[in-house]
Amino acid sequence: MQWYFVAALLTLLTSSQGILTTLSQTNGRYKYDYATIPFLAEVFKLLVSSLFLWRECNSPSAPRMTTEWTSVRLFVIPSIIYLVHNNVQFATLTYVDPSTYQIMGNLKIVTTGILFRLFLRRKLSNLQWMAIILLTIGAMTSQTKGCGEAACDSLFSAPIHGYILGILSACLSALAGIYTEYLMKKNNDSLYWQNVQLYTFGAIFNMVRLLWDDFRVGFEKGPWWQRLLSGYTFTTWMVVLNLGSTGLLVSWLMKFADNIVKVYSTSMAMLLTMVLSIYLFHFHPTVQLFLGILVCMISLHMYFAPVHLLIDLPVNPKADSGLLKEVIVENHGEQ
């Protein structure tokens, strides 16, 4: 399966997440416990991965599985990072408004590129760095509202704590993705075995979160397992399946592509969601949205297009071999 097909599918699924979540509301409210969605999504991913692993184990060529605890325990770390990230998200929203938080969230694009270089030792060309910065600018521009609106005035009026927490949130999000990619590529273990480890700990930590939420309110609504499926509708189950399927596609990209491909997929999904919202929820498009889409399209072309489409190469390749080395773009299709 080619990485660009998986990336396109991830874009479609991610773009439909917000739409499905909105449609799952009744009169603007959730009739179900939204905290149960990530838990059930983790269980879904665990079951699907276990099924594929079982099929691999029954095939003529047994899959490679590293079962030493020194290796398995490393899969706890992404769950811890995501747990801390979720709490930082809530803390950030106490200082900044949702629009500012959404715009600041795009900083994870740049932090992913930086950590991609520092921790995975993957070199990016100057053109690729420019493309990543353009993607960040395009995403921020598409979410910026017109000046004169309250949201525009509040963008730079939050306390310094809010901006610090927003930057920390972007760094944690990028770190979780980079570390997951490191785990997926550190050996030749079966993807499904790695998923089983990752999603087992993910389900455990989500279950702990549900217990903690019950404990904070003194179990006034009863234990979480008694209301696990309360208020669920067909659309709610679609949200769970969508979130679970998205996670499986991301793990495939972490194994066979990289975080930058994932970042582009999710950023394009955000723009696609905005466009679809125009027709589904009567969202009013802005000039900023169209400019943001245009900048992101240019960024996408700059990062993934072949070299000969980006610059005019010399007729004699020997005339300036250094120029070619400077702008060569990494071939993701061979990863």
Per residue in 97-136, pLDDT (tens digit) is: 766 777 778 888 999 999 998 888 888 889 999 999 999 9
Please give the pLDDT value at position 218: 86
Please indicate whether residue 101 or residue 153 has the higher confidence score (pLDDT). Answer: 101
Tens of pLDDT along 83-93?
888 778 778 87
The pLDDT confidence band at residue 296, using thresholds 50, 70 and 90, is very high
Is 159 a residue whose pLDDT tops 90? no
Assigned domain for 329 exists: yes
**Across 27-41, 268-282, 317-331, least confident range:** 317-331
Please give the pLDDT value at position 152: 53
pTM of the predicted model, to two decimals? 0.85
Tens of pLDDT along 5-20?
999 999 999 888 888 8
Please give the pLDDT value at position 163: 84
Is 334 a residue whose pLDDT tops 50? no
Assigned domain for 305 exists: yes
Is 328 a residue whose pLDDT tops 80? no
Assigned domain for 72 exists: no
Assigned domain for 82 exists: no
Assigned domain for 319 exists: yes
Is 332 a residue whose pLDDT tops 50? no
Assigned domain for 68 exists: no
Assigned domain for 173 exists: yes
Please give the pLDDT value at position 79: 87
Tens of pLDDT along 208-235?
989 988 888 888 888 889 889 999 999 9
The whole domain housing 101 covers 3-61+88-334
Please give the pLDDT value at position 307: 77
Left (φ > 0), alpha (ψ -120 to 50) or beta: where does 62 sit? beta
Average pLDDT, the chain: 85
The pLDDT confidence band at residue 71, using thresholds 50, 70 and 90, is very high
- Give the total number of structural domains in the chain: 1
Is 276 a residue whose pLDDT tops 50? yes
| Mean pLDDT, range 269-277, rounded to an integer | 83
